[in-house]
Amino acid sequence: MSRRGVAEALTSDNRASRPEEKKRIEALDGYVDCRRGVWRIRGSLAVTRGIRDGHLKEFVVAEPVTKVVRIQCVWEFLILTSDWLRDNVRKIDTTLFIGIDWGN
């Protein structure tokens, strides 16, 4: 979401590197370790929420973390994205790109 040219994330990544996710996994007798700079569940999966990966089913949950927000008139735009974009494009770059006047 962009408000007056400033990017603001409305979600957080569901990654094994997040302290809350690590704690949740460890409470289920799982473990999180870092391999080549990436935190992973049992050295395998970096995301902690999904619908596949049966071998890690007890640690990877399908229920997303959600939050309800009221759309405000000061929002310039809202970007729905995937983890790939968040991993590869900084939110300020995304805001600048989307905010360009395309002459439409």
88-104 tens-digit pLDDT: 776 656 666 666 555 54
E strands present in the chain? 2-3, 6-7, 32-35, 38-41, 75-77
Which residue type, as a one-letter code, is found at position 12? S
Residue 73, pLDDT > 80, answer yes
The topology (CATH level 3) of 2-98 is Phosphatase 2c; domain 1 (3.60.40)
Q: What is the pLDDT of residues 2-52, one digit of tens each?
A: 777 777 777 777 889 999 999 999 999 999 999 999 999 998 888 888 877
Helical spans, DSSP H, in 10-100: 19-27, 83-88, 91-98
Return the residue matching tokens 């619908």: 51
Return the residue matching tokens 């995937």: 82
**Global confidence as pTM:** 0.64
Nearest CA to 39 among 59, 19, 56, 62? 19
Tally of residues, the chain: 104
